[in-house]
Structure 1
């Protein structure tokens, strides 16, 4: 493989901001949807195609159907930045399914082949690092985008070109509408900036909501010792049909606060047999139902044991969005809610985004996904 930009390359990153930024304060901005998939840099030289993850690890073997499509649909020689995603039409309009995408990373070649047919992935490109014999990495984004549009014109899937706009009002609409298709927010790129690997040179605007959830247990921090025990993460739950369901974790605390929380929560410690999740003890080495404290291939080697607590405390947390019935990312602790009864904390309080058709975002018909 002989390209003007060669692997390994760390992708350009984004820093979080509140609300759609003013383009005038950044020398002009280009807005685009924030995809919820695996960040992926593509290196293509003829029939040679390599896919690299955000941390430069190879992804090529896991997505043979995407590699085949890239050989057919992408320019002969190019380096692209984009995202691999899986979209399913489980409830009408297609939407992104991150948990299904995670299942595509598997050591068995037979399972990779089966999943490539059962849950095929797609690729959406949003930046250009090289085309032919020319590197575009040092050029401003406005030039990179123009060349990318020309090079990828007419794509109808499974390779796509992301939409962009320079209108902040339209970006605001996207921020609210596109979540219904499983997207993660909006990204803003300065029009005059070069491609800056591993630098937070972009801006991301993500959804943030709050929920009152039940504290059901905690895990100790990896630096915890018998002399100085520290809380690592809180295990959170919500009630559904009278049963406490695991919804996610909250984990961002200072060391001082970790020590305080560990001490504060000791009176609530209970034997697992007396805990609502006690019936899941038999699954401590497998994870058929995504229950807390159990293993999956994403957590192999990690200690997922937890200290069960009487589910008497309610905590308000901030979260961005849901993945099925779980928080997609780690929730942020906001405050204790001593005024709330734990049994009153259910899923009905969570905001449901209005459904939105992913094919409208990609400007293709449903056959393209």
Structure 2
């Protein structure tokens, strides 16, 4: 491979802001695997956000790149799995598997696509120093003849339309809106763009905690919600605390510690128990040898957390602690309180070049 921008390349990143800033290019924020795609003739390399190779996990994306992208180019985009009219991150995650036979089986059953939203090089020219507006024009030309499963990400400079996207596209599984300054060159591994994500709040049961990696202080709180059958389901964690607060939480929660045998999640270490319930410490190829043990708490204390969106029956990302809710009872912390997002057909967002 001999391109003007060679792998590995870490992608340009975005910093979080509360509102959509004016005077920029706006795109949807995709919920998938960030990917830098290098193509030089028949050679294709797909790199992850950290620079690690993704190529072997997505053979159908490699085939689509060879069919749809220019012969020599470097594209920034997102690998996604469309499923039943929305993006499905769980099915996408299943693709990272050591067995080649399973990867190829899933490539047929739950095929992934590539959403392209930036271009770093074309033919013999590096575009890293070109402004955002120029790169977008080159990208549109490069993908003019592309077809599914390669898609050109919709973009606009209309702030009102971006706000409309922010409100409507969530129902298709998208994650918010990204804003890019019009004169911005491509800056790898730098938070030079802006992301605006959805935020909601929920009251959750604090049913346990894990220790912080630095020592005997609280690392993360384990959150639960009751389902319609009265079972307490593990739905995620909140973890952004100062070290001083982590130490305070250890002392504050100590009176709630109980014997794990009497906890609703007592079967967490049994892999078969995860098939019917959401429990902490689910076996995962992502966790590797990470210590997933946790301290059981009597499920009676309630906290309010902020979250962006749900992935099935759990929080998609780590939540943000807002406050304790002594006025709420644990049994009232149910899924019914969560805001239901209006469904939106992904085909209205994902269209070929």
Q: How high is the TM-score relative to the length of structure 2? A: 0.97
Residue 78 of structure 2 corresponds to which residue in structure 1? 83
Aligned residues: 351
For the aligned residues, what is the CA RMSD? Answer: 1.4
CA distance in 2, matches of 1:283, 1:76: 46
Residue 342 of structure 2 corresponds to which residue in structure 1? 354
Residue 161 of structure 1 corresponds to which residue in structure 2? 152
Where do residues 272-291 of structure 1 align in structure 2 (5 Å cutoff)? Answer: 272-283=260-271, 288=275, 290-291=278-279
Q: Deviations over 1:30-67 (max 9, x none)?
A: 00000000000000001100000000000000000100
Q: Deviations over 1:242-295 (max 9, x none)?
A: 1111110011101010000011101100111111112444339x8545521232
Residue 304 of structure 1 corresponds to which residue in structure 2? 292
Unpaired runs of 5+ residues, structure 1, are: 24-28
Residue from 213, 225, 230 that aligns with 1:222: 213
Unpaired runs of 5+ residues, structure 2, are: none
Residue 222 of structure 2 corresponds to which residue in structure 1? 235
Aligned: 1:104 with 2:95 = yes
Where do residues 1-369 of structure 1 align in structure 2 (5 Å cutoff)? Answer: 1-23=1-23, 29-89=24-84, 94-224=85-215, 229-240=216-227, 241-283=229-271, 288=275, 290-363=278-351
CA distance in 2, matches of 1:68, 1:178: 28
Q: Specify whether residues 75 and 281 from structure 1 end up closer, same or farther in structure 2 by C-alpha distance, changes over 3 A only.
A: closer
Q: Which runs of 4+ in 1 moved over 3 A?
A: 286-290
* Secondary structure, aligned partner of 2:146: coil
CA distance in 1, matches of 2:88, 2:99: 22
